[in-house]
Amino acid sequence: MEVRIEPSWKKRLEAEFEKDYFGQLTDFVKQEYSQYTVYPPGKLIFNAFNLCPFDEVKVVMIGQDPYHGPGQAHGLCFSVNDGIAFPPSLNNIFKEIKDDLGKEIPATGNLTRWAQQGVLLLNATLTVRGELANGSANKAGSHQGKGWEEFTDAAIRALAQEKENIVFILWGSYAQRKGAFIDRNRHLVLTSAHPSPLSAYKGFFGNHHFSHTNAYLKQHGKIEIDW
């Protein structure tokens, strides 16, 4: 199957594209886009991969679903397009960065600047059905269990097995389960509560993951991330 994705990722993931689950997933996603509003826009489904080639990955941040509100999702976990109000989790991420590193909260929630520095901002599920215009149809999780999780597991596994000294940032139990197989002797795995308002005060705030990440990168001769 021909999939438009950044060449270094295509090389690692092409075996997935030929598997039965991926064919079924593709059929499902195409049908959803034809019938409903689905996020992100189709051309941005693989945005995380396209902005952060395999050989440039230094940090992996794992989210769950794309945002399902109008104009928010653009293929990077936790990130929103320019001009879009910060969702609560992203707002808490910026608060922790300020407390940890002293950096002021930015004007935009667009995290493309992180991706271009080697941060793979990967949602476990790469698409989601959007809300209806009146906001009555909250469809978070609507594309879970259709095959995306197997695909993103393959991407994480390729990084964990082929590379060394990556920082994996796993916030919340979902991300931690997804990253359970990562070899802690080869990589730095940082875990804490999720930045959601429901859990941020239960261990996310004060986790210092951004300074810990940069210290580890510096220790291993890599350029630190400008968060």
Question: How many Å apart are CA 146 and CA 206, to the nearest integer?
Answer: 35
pLDDT tens digit sequence for 187-215: 999 999 999 999 999 999 999 999 999 99
Q: What is the pLDDT of residue 138?
A: 54
Question: How many Å apart are CA 52 and CA 56, to the nearest integer?
Answer: 6
Q: Which residues of 170-202 are buried (b: 16+ CB within 10 A; e: fewer)?
A: bbbeebbebbeebeeeebbbbbbbbbeeebbee
Q: Which residues of 140-164 are buried (b: 16+ CB within 10 A; e: fewer)?
A: eebbeebbbbebbebbbebbbeeee
CB-count exposure of residue 62 (10 Å: 0-12, 13-18, 19+): buried
> In this model, does residue 81 exceed pLDDT 90?
yes
Amino acid symbol at 151: F
Concatenating the DSSP letter of every residue in 112-166 gives HHHHTTTEEEEESS--EEPPPTTS----TTTTTTSSHHHHHHHHHHHHHHH--SP
Q: What is the pLDDT of residue 132?
A: 59
Q: What is the pLDDT of residue 137?
A: 55
Q: What is the pLDDT of residue 131?
A: 67
> In this model, does residue 61 exceed pLDDT 80?
yes
pLDDT tens digit sequence for 122-164: 999 999 998 655 454 556 788 999 999 999 999 999 999 999 9
The question of whether 65 is a catalytic residue gets the answer yes
Q: Which of 55, 65, 99, 153 is catalytic?
A: 65
Q: What is the pLDDT of residue 140?
A: 76
CA–chain centroid gap for 163, Å, is 18
Question: How many Å apart are CA 56 and CA 39, to the nearest integer?
Answer: 26
- Cβ neighbour number for residue 7 with a 10 Å cutoff: 9
With contact defined as beta carbons under 8 Å apart, do 150 and 15 qualify?
A: no
pLDDT band at 104 (very low <50, low <70, confident <90, very high): very high
Average predicted confidence (pLDDT) for the chain:
95
> In this model, does residue 1 exceed pLDDT 90?
no
Q: What is the pLDDT of residue 2?
A: 83
